[in-house]
Structure 1
Amino acid sequence: MRRTPTRRSRMPASLAMLAVSAALAAVAAFSLADPATAQDPAGTVMSACTKCHNTQRICANLGAKDKAAWNTTVTRMMGKGAQVGEAEKPAVVDWLAAQQPGAKPVCQ
């Protein structure tokens, strides 16, 4: 018995190129994220906050500000250009709120 070939629907070349371009753009965007800070709020604080502030200024507020106050501060700093992504903001705020005066690495 002989099989009749079935027609396969093929993706138009332009659509295939669009899909490939989108996939490459997603990979590029993901690779631009700093993996050290993406899952490390302390690393994010040390890299983002110390671009404009010395660590003494941050250290002075550890234990003095609660979560709401740190959220306000981080939001304000993001508005001024701090390189903290929306996705990492909650972890940064939680980390700052949980630190005690003298906590490392900020208060070294």
Structure 2
Amino acid sequence: MKKVVPVIILPLLLIVFTFGISAVSGADSNLVSSKCSGCHSLKRICRELGKKDLAGWTQNVKRMVEMGADLNAAEIAEVSKTLSNAKPEGSSFCN
């Protein structure tokens, strides 16, 4: 039984790490698209992907809220998480 667990879990972890960044959920992508593109293009956001960590994106998104973006606390967290995990070549809102 102990040998079976790694055989099952290791391939699953590989799938998650391989596709996790590019497989941003449609809901997350829609939230980024709908909330962020009201003030600027998604190209601007996509140019910044991979340059900021979660703390950097959270600070950036909160600054956008101070400037008028309409996001609640849960949306700030979700958008920040999505952007911190996204890569330009794998994000549906950058294609």
State the TM-score, normalizing by the size of structure 1. Answer: 0.59
Which one of 38, 41, 54 corresponds to residue 54 of structure 1?
A: 41
Give 1:86's aligned residue. Answer: 73
Q: Offset of 1:57 from its aligned partner?
A: 0.3
Give 2:52's aligned residue. Answer: 65
Q: Offset of 1:49 from its aligned partner?
A: 0.5
Is 1:76 the counterpart of 2:80 in the alignment? no
Give 1:104's aligned residue. Answer: 91
Identity level (%): 36
RMSD, aligned α-carbons: 1.6
Instruction: Count the aligned residue pairs.
Output: 70
Give 1:4's aligned residue. Answer: none
Which one of 31, 45, 57 corresponds to residue 32 of structure 2?
A: 45
Structure 1 stretches of 5 or more lacking a match?
Answer: 1-38
**4+ residue runs over 4 A deviation:** none
Structure 2 stretches of 5 or more lacking a match?
Answer: 1-25
Q: Offset of 1:105 from its aligned partner?
A: 2.1
SS in structure 2 at match of 1:106: helix
1:64-98 CA deviation, whole Å, 9 max, x = no partner?
Answer: 11111101100000111112111221111111100
